[in-house]
Amino acid sequence: MAHLALYYLCSPELLDLESINDYLYFCKNQHNTPSDSFFKHTIYGLRTAYKVCGLTEKTINLPQIEGQKDLPVVLNKTEVRALLKAPKYLKHRLMLGMLYGCGLRNYELCALRLQDIDFERKTVLIKHKKGKHDRVVPLSDLLQSGLKSYISSEKPEHFLFNSQILKNGKKQGMTTNGVGWVVKENRTKVNTHKKITAHILRHTYATHLLDEGVNIMRIKELLGHVRVETTLIYLHISNFKHHPAFSPLDTLYNSDEKA
């Protein structure tokens, strides 16, 4: 608050919203640290001061501070291959394959119905509840072949992956706990220190697509994200094939200079 008063040489409670926003813009550019701590504390201080002064309309118009987001854990291709090979049963291999190969959320895998799989068009329709948008994702040839064998032998009804059979004989769809159990049972067979979950396979799907040069807006559609800002996080962990990142150590000794 003192800094704001010195900046304008007047009491902060006398400033209009435009002046306050100009000051915040100045702070954001002057103190652009990784955590933006100076900017955040400025916002918190202004909120407290305006609340004490009863100037609630100014508090409402202050920008919101988003929490710092950690980058998602992503598996490399060797780890994915090991995980997909780990299950004993074809059904479990296909469940893991659908999570990674189609970028599905846990509950989306559980809700998949037989009619959502189009083998001729090689697509998977992912239905959403009221108010959400459906989306269509490509179905790989490997998954298509495995699903045909699985459907022929297991004969699932209605849902693509059935769980327990109810007392009335009706088959029930796979539960999210069931999917979690499959992941947990097989992740110990992968030589990695990463904690593998169903959602990490979705992160891996998005990152590997970006690695292969798929457009970020296309990946947004495939993941079913509402806001592209959610998808942009994968830019921080991807190795673009067209513009690959590298360590400076790789080129440190390529020059004529001696180490």
Question: Which are the catalytic amino acids?
Answer: 105, 130, 199, 202, 225, 234
Beta-carbon contacts of 77 under 8 Å, excluding residues fewer than 6 positions away, are 208
**Please, what is the end-to-end C-alpha distance for the chain in angstroms?**
52
Residue 173 near residue 73 (C-beta atoms within 8 A) = no
Phi, psi at 11, each rounded to 5°:
-70, 135
Structure tokens at 53: 């002064």
**Whether 241 contacts 256, CB under 8 Å:** no
Asked if residue 211 lies in contact with residue 241, where contact means CB atoms within 8 angstroms, the answer is: yes
CA 41 to chain centre: 29
**Residues counted in the chain:** 259
What Cα–Cα distance (Å) separates residue 55 from each residue in 17, 29, 39, 64?
11, 26, 20, 17
Dist. CA 102–CA 198, nearest whole Å: 12
